[in-house]
């Protein structure tokens, strides 16, 4: 059956079966109903169109698959197939998180998400054999990297339905042994149950989009087993335990930015919601090599968000984005 004709439960049937057999099976109690409800009331107007695009993709399965800095599916396809792939995948633009190389078609995404992964990988607990959750996983780029690092299953949630479509489009080409271990659902953190037992929870680039950051950190805490690890990445400002910037209407032209704490404040918040062993693993200013306009994301990007005369400031006069990676244990 074509994907565009499937119900949500059919579309995610294999993921749900895999979930049932996993240590995070209690999630199913909420998830099946939520997917049905999503289909009836929250589905994006273009969702069926995106699935039709996926249905039209050529029947290719990668015999060569690298889950490295570029997620590479190979070998390179014939030129006419590459043209077909390029045309169809470009209908799922903008591509923000990557990069990918799909049978010779390079998807140069807005973000070099590999750079973020390189910054955090040396610091996190070994993912070998772990059940991992990525909250706000975008296109799912990091889900593949988590699998590369040994995770048994990588589960992603993101309310951005175009990103879910991008994930499904690429997963379709993956060999079964890889495809069956990465999963993504169109959900926000606020829809997650209050007691799951993931071994590691990642949340990167989401905290500043939440209106209630303490509730958000508690929700992440609730997804972890005792002793499990949180990997949190977010924009930070300079300052002490009591410093937090709540920008005006926009920060770096984004309307949905709420709380930008200092590293010290964020550590304090994490301890207040019950985490221990809280530490800052990395702080880095986002560069225009890491976030930029490309053929696959033709809108404005970081260089348009910074003050052209003073690139250490955003266009609104705030400190330019600096991102920290924090680790904490439940
Ligand atoms: N309530 C929510 N629950 C879960 N996700 C959400 C929510 N609201 C928004 N998002 C999702 O959080 C992601 C943030 S982007 C980071 C992607 C990746 N993690 C990265 O680190 O490259 C960062 C950015 O573009 O600012 C988007 O995909 C949103 O749809």
Tens-place pLDDT, residues 152-198: 999 999 999 999 999 999 999 999 999 999 999 999 999 999 999 99
Q: Residue 16: how many CA atoms within 13 Å on its side-chain side?
A: 15
pLDDT digits (tens, 9 = 90+) for 289-318: 999 999 999 999 999 999 999 999 999 999
Give the number of other Cβ atoms within 10 Å of residue 181's Cβ.
18
Mutate to test the pocket of ligand 1, among 99, 119, 134, 136 (most ligand atoms within 8 A of CB): 136
Nearest CA to ligand 1 atom 26: 205
For range 132-149, the mean pLDDT: 98
Region 249-275 average pLDDT? 97
What kind and span of H or E run contains 19? helix 13-20
Q: Which residue has the tokens 């304090």?
A: 268
Integer-rounded Cα Rg, in Å, for the chain is: 19
Mean residue pLDDT across the chain: 97
Q: What is the tens place of the pLDDT at every residue in 57-97?
A: 999 999 999 999 999 999 999 999 999 999 999 999 999 99
The ligand 1 atom at the shortest distance from the C-alpha of residue 136 is 5
Q: What percent of the chain has pLDDT over 90?
A: 98
For residue 183, give the nearest of 211, 212, 151, 214 by alpha carbon: 151
C-alpha of residue 83 to centroid of ligand 1, in Å: 30
Q: Is residue 43 pLDDT above 90, yes or no?
A: no
Neighbouring CB atoms inside 10 A of 55's CB total 14
Residue nearest ligand 1's atom 25 by CA: 205
Nearest ligand 1 atom to alpha carbon 190? 1
- Per domain, the residue ranges of the chain are 3-329
CB of 81 closer than 8 Å to CB of 60: yes
| 113-120 helix and 141-148 helix, angle to the nearest 10 degrees | 40
179 DSSP assignment: H
Identify the residues whose C-beta falls under 6 Å from ligand 1: 97, 111, 113, 116, 135-138, 157-160, 163, 188-190, 204-206, 209
Ligand 1: centre distance to CA 152 (Å): 23
Nearest CA to 208 out of 232, 187, 230, 235 is that of 235
**Residue 43 neighbours by CB under 8 Å, 6+ apart:** 161
The fold of 3-329 is: Rossmann fold (3.40.50)
Q: What's the N-to-C CA distance of the chain in angstroms?
A: 43
């Amino acid at each position: 059956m074509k994907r565009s004709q499937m119900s949500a439960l059919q579309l995610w049937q294999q993921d749900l079966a895999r979930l049932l057999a996993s240590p995070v099976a209690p999630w199913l109690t909420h998830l099946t109903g939520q997917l049905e409800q999503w289909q009836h009331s929250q589905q994006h107007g273009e969702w069926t169109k995106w699935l039709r695009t996926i249905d039209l993709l050529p029947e290719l399965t990668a015999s060569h698959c690298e889950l490295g800095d570029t997620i590479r599916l190979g070998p390179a396809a014939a030129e006419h197939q590459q043209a077909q792939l390029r045309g169809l995948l470009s209908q799922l633009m903008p591509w923000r998180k990557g990069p990918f190389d799909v049978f010779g078609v390079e998807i140069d995404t807005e973000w070099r998400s590999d750079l973020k992964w390189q910054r955090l990988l040396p610091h996190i607990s070994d993912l070998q054999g772990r059940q991992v959750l990525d909250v706000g996983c975008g296109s799912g780029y990091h889900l593949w990297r988590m699998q590369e690092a040994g995770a048994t299953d990588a589960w992603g949630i993101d309310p951005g339905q175009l990103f879910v479509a991008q994930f499904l489009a690429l997963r379709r080409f993956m060999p079964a042994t890889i495809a069956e271990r990465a999963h993504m659902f169109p959900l926000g953190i606020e829809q997650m149950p209050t007691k799951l037992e993931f071994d590691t929870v990642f949340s990167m680039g989401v905290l500043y989009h939440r209106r209630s950051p303490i509730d958000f950190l508690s929700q992440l805490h609730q997804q972890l087993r005792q002793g499990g690890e949180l990997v949190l990445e977010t924009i930070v400002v300079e300052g002490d335990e009591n410093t937090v910037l709540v920008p005006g209407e926009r920060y770096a032209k984004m309307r949905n930015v709420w709380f930008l704490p200092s590293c010290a404040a964020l550590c304090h918040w994490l301890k207040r919601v019950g985490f221990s062993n809280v530490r800052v693993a990395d702080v880095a200013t986002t560069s225009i090599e890491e976030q930029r306009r490309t053929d696959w994301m033709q809108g404005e990007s970081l260089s348009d968000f910074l003050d052209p005369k003073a690139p250490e400031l955003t266009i609104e006069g705030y400190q330019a984005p600096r991102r920290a990676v924090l680790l904490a244990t439940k």
